[in-house]
Chain A
Amino acid sequence: GENVEQHPSTLSVQEGDSAVIKCTYSDSASNYFPWYKQELGKRPQLIIDIRSNVGEKKDQRIAVTLNKTAKHFSLHITETQPEDSAVYFCAARDSSYKLIFGSGTRLLVRP
């Protein structure tokens, strides 16, 4: 079945710098890749997603890139702000239409 690996597990950046979180997946049939943000004590919420027919998608300060050949996708956050501090999860939809999540990245943005 699908396996999703996420790196790094923790990431600390200075406010204003960029942050990059990377995920790899194993099932070449996967075609949908969402990213969720979870603030402390809150529920996960979708921040951006990408489908396999595109290589990049942007939404203001966040972007996601997908490399189908290498089976990896990345989340890029530019001009980070303290409110970006949270745990971020990547996921991939497997061939049986279920989402398989990565283990999460704890992002800390230092003021």
Chain B
Amino acid sequence: DAGITQSPRHKVTETGTPVTLRCHQTENHRYMYWYRQDPGHGLRLIHYSYGVKDTDKGEVSDGYSVSRSKTEDFLLTLESATSSQTSVYFCAISESDGNNEQFFGPGTRLTVL
């Protein structure tokens, strides 16, 4: 597996609390992505980054923000978690844009009660 880690791997939180998920890579890849995976919906892009401090929205970005202050770290923040954000979150990296393989992290299972 490519050098991608996610933390935490599991989290249970309450509605209204802030949550930050971390993705860390050791591959020095330029592009990083956050997806959520829900039954019947496949993988949906939340936000992505094409360089340090360069980020853009995906198809389901409402309620989420991201930051990338270093090449190796990409943070996903839920400012005020809601039950609809209960999901499995995957980080992915790629050397260039979508025309190259994306390598996925191990995932974070988030439950919002």
Contacts and interface: CB of A to CB of B under 8 A. Distances in A.
Decide if A and B are genuine partners. yes
Interface string A16-30: 000000000000000
Contact of B42 (A31, A34, A98, A101): A101
Nearest to B104: A43
Interface in A24-65: 31-32, 34, 42-46, 49, 51
A102 B105 CA distance: 19
Interface string A55-86: 00000000000000000000000000000000
A43 B107 contact: yes
Contacts of B101: 34, 46, 49
B41 interface: yes
Interface of A: 1, 6, 9, 31-32, 34, 42-46, 49, 51, 89, 91, 93-94, 97-104
B99 A46 contact: no
A102 B40 CA distance: 9
Contacts of B97: 93, 97
Contact of B105 (A43, A51, A93): A43
A75 B90 CA distance: 24
